[in-house]
Amino acid sequence: MTLPKGYKPNTKNQNNLPLSAEKITEGIKIKMENGKEINIKEEIGSGLQATVFAAEYDGRLYAVKWYYSKFATKKQRQILEHLVCKKPPSSNFVWPINILEIDEVKGFGFIMERVENRFKPLSLWINRLVNPSIRTLLTTCFNITRSFYLLHSNGLCYCDLSLNNILFDPSNGDIRIIDTDNIVINGQQGSVSGTDSFMAPEIVSKGVIPNVYTDRYSLSVIIFFIMFVNHPLEGKKESQVKNKRDEVELKKLYGSEALFIFDPDDRSNEPDTRHENALIYWKIYPKFLRDLFTSAFTKGIHDPMNGRITEGVWQRDLARAIDLLTCCGICKCENFYYPNKIQNKSRCWNCKRPVVATFWLIFADNNIVVLNHNTNLYPHHLDPNNREFDFSIPLAKVISDFRGSLFLENKDSSKWTTTTKDLKMENIGKGGRLNLSNVRKISFGRTSALVYSRH
Ligand SMILES: [Zn+2]
């Protein structure tokens, strides 16, 4: 980061703004303490609290958020001062780098990284204006939970998680989390309580201060929304609310009478024709994910401390679901493959024909990984004690030759021992490849897996 810490208010009215203007405008320059200037460019967005501008500093593009004077409070300033001193928990957070102020304009703002154009609002998916794959959607959910795992591990609380605060790359599930200027130390009172319908029921009905447990509720709502294109509490009861601005009714729906649309013991809020997406997508995803949502929105509604799904559990099960993805050989739709016919769900959700993967691994701990032509294995696959879910460097890679035969290549420095179908033992070192159609078992060192094929 090339930006200097601290700020230096301008001493001369060199921007030709009226003294005490309400906000900065395009064309003004903010002088930093090293003498260099931030050039404010065009406005790129505005919300309830502030306006966001493009900005240029030292030849690089940034963004500057400037608060309306009503929101440029002492509290907000304290929050920012704390955040600029801390490192972001991950590069997925668009973090405040430096507080800015100038003499001619009321209040203050801050500078942050500019989000690349490849990141799009999640609303584009909810409104079906982009068409990401199921793998991308699950990767998006995984990246969000990973980021919140790191945020909460740092003792911080986001307070205002909603679909509006997350941008995603529809081609691969990379994410950026924006509006990080509401993040506070867990337990402290921040500037916001959250966004309607994403707030935990205890905030809506009892006015509880946002905390890690309320973040976890909002996280489950976001994941549900991304996977099922529907809010988890919006079924028949939401259809019956005539005036969608009736605060009393909304407080019941999202607070005191919150009821999951797939609550197994109370069907009175089940999805109706206005909420068909939920019915369609609910059938596609694995039972172990549906069970997590059922827990999150039954016990988790009433018992914030014990009932909510932790980021660690979400990470584990989202990664597990990604490992089961394969394509239907007939219609090419993505499906979850259950080789041992758990749930009796080996038929394509779209064309109803049987789905069979070419190869799959069943690890010693019963984890299953379908081997598609582009599958990678990572540290958490090959070491049962690894919970870091580091997807940056694959330890094994599926590759195919010109005939379409699939091989598993060892990208790791540790040696594998394989048992072939005719019971010969072979060692595979780094760079070595094994032909999946010839191998019965692979010992990876810390774990082993049996290799299965449809033949
Ligand atoms: Zn199909």
213 plus 303 within the same structural domain: yes
d(CA 67, CA 108): 6
Cα of 228 vs centre of ligand 1, distance in Å, is 19
d(CA 275, CA 268): 14
Residue 326, domain member (yes or no): no
Cα of 135 vs centre of ligand 1, distance in Å, is 16
371 plus 434 within the same structural domain: yes
CATH number of the domain at 288, please. 1.10.510.10
74 plus 136 within the same structural domain: no
Does the pLDDT value for residue 10 go beyond 70?
Answer: no
Cα of 363 vs centre of ligand 1, distance in Å, is 27
- The stretches of 41-133 forming alpha helices (DSSP H) are 74-84, 123-126
What string of DSSP letters covers 207-238?
-PPP-HHHHHHHHHHHHHHHHHSS-TT-SHHH
Q: Mind listing the pLDDT tens digit for each residue in 335-364? A: 999 886 554 557 899 999 988 888 999 999
Does the pLDDT value for residue 12 go beyond 70?
Answer: no
Cα of 372 vs centre of ligand 1, distance in Å, is 16
d(CA 225, CA 76): 30
For position 342, what pLDDT does the model report? 53
47 plus 155 within the same structural domain: no
168 plus 309 within the same structural domain: yes
Cα of 324 vs centre of ligand 1, distance in Å, is 16
Q: Mind listing the pLDDT tens digit for each residue in 163-200? A: 999 999 999 999 999 999 999 999 888 888 888 899 99
190 plus 45 within the same structural domain: no
DSSP state of 262: T
For position 1, what pLDDT does the model report? 46
Cα of 130 vs centre of ligand 1, distance in Å, is 21
Averaged pLDDT of the chain: 92
Q: Look up the domain containing 422 and give its range.
A: 357-453
Q: Calculate mean pLDDT across residues 316-333.
A: 95
Cβ atoms of 55 and 64 within 8 Å: the answer is yes
Cβ atoms of 63 and 114 within 8 Å: the answer is yes
Q: Mind listing the pLDDT tens digit for each residue in 284-318? A: 999 999 999 999 999 999 999 999 999 999 999 99
d(CA 281, CA 223): 13
Cα of 325 vs centre of ligand 1, distance in Å, is 13
Cβ atoms of 201 and 119 within 8 Å: the answer is no
Query: Around ion ligand 1, which residues have CB less than 5 A away?
Result: 328, 330-331, 333, 348, 350-351
Cα of 226 vs centre of ligand 1, distance in Å, is 22
Cα of 335 vs centre of ligand 1, distance in Å, is 8
109 plus 133 within the same structural domain: no
d(CA 118, CA 116): 5
- The stretches of 21-133 forming alpha helices (DSSP H) are 74-84, 123-126
Domain count, the chain: 3
d(CA 219, CA 74): 29
CATH number of the domain at 439, please. 2.60.200
208 plus 281 within the same structural domain: yes
Cα of 126 vs centre of ligand 1, distance in Å, is 23
Cβ atoms of 361 and 368 within 8 Å: the answer is yes
d(CA 127, CA 310): 28
Q: How many CB atoms lie within 10 A of CB 241?
A: 15
Residue 337, domain member (yes or no): no
Residue 445, domain member (yes or no): yes
* HSE (side-chain half, CA atoms, 13 Å) at 38: 33
* HSE (side-chain half, CA atoms, 13 Å) at 364: 12
Cα of 290 vs centre of ligand 1, distance in Å, is 22
User: Of 317, 333, 348, which residue sits at a domain end?
Assistant: 317
Single out the residue of 441, 142, 183, 451 nearest to residue 318, CA to CA. Answer: 142
Cα of 128 vs centre of ligand 1, distance in Å, is 21
Q: Calculate mean pLDDT across residues 27-49.
A: 89
Strand-pair partners of 121:
167
Cα of 355 vs centre of ligand 1, distance in Å, is 7
Q: Mind listing the pLDDT tens digit for each residue in 100-138? A: 988 888 889 999 999 999 999 999 999 999 999 999 999
For position 11, what pLDDT does the model report? 46
Cβ atoms of 83 and 96 within 8 Å: the answer is yes
Cβ atoms of 115 and 94 within 8 Å: the answer is yes
Q: What percent of the chain stands above pLDDT 90?
A: 78
185 plus 231 within the same structural domain: yes
Q: How many CB atoms lie within 10 A of CB 213?
A: 20
Cβ atoms of 67 and 50 within 8 Å: the answer is yes
Residue 205, domain member (yes or no): yes
176 plus 69 within the same structural domain: no
Residue 294, domain member (yes or no): yes
d(CA 415, CA 82): 47
pLDDT band for position 418 (50/70/90)?
Answer: very high
pTM for this prediction: 0.92
User: Of 56, 91, 113, which residue sits at a domain end?
Assistant: 113
Q: Mind listing the pLDDT tens digit for each residue in 219-273? A: 999 999 999 999 999 999 999 998 888 999 999 999 999 999 999 999 999 999 9
Ramachandran assignment for 253, one of left (phi > 0), alpha (psi -120 to 50 degrees), beta (any other): alpha
Cα of 334 vs centre of ligand 1, distance in Å, is 8
For position 73, what pLDDT does the model report? 93
Cα of 373 vs centre of ligand 1, distance in Å, is 18
Does the pLDDT value for residue 276 go beyond 90?
Answer: yes
Cβ atoms of 377 and 389 within 8 Å: the answer is no
d(CA 56, CA 100): 14
Instruction: Retrieve residue 48's tokens.
Output: 């309830």
Residue 376, domain member (yes or no): yes
User: Of 113, 148, 183, which residue sits at a domain end?
Assistant: 113
Cβ atoms of 308 and 216 within 8 Å: the answer is yes
409 plus 443 within the same structural domain: yes
292 plus 370 within the same structural domain: no
For position 48, what pLDDT does the model report? 83
Cβ atoms of 112 and 90 within 8 Å: the answer is no
Residue 345, domain member (yes or no): no
CATH number of the domain at 107, please. 3.30.200.20
Cα of 406 vs centre of ligand 1, distance in Å, is 22
Cα of 346 vs centre of ligand 1, distance in Å, is 11
Residue 155, domain member (yes or no): yes
Cα of 92 vs centre of ligand 1, distance in Å, is 35
- The stretches of 229-302 forming alpha helices (DSSP H) are 236-240, 247-251, 276-282, 287-296, 299-302
Cα of 328 vs centre of ligand 1, distance in Å, is 5
Q: Mind listing the pLDDT tens digit for each residue in 62-94? A: 999 999 988 999 999 999 999 999 999 999 999
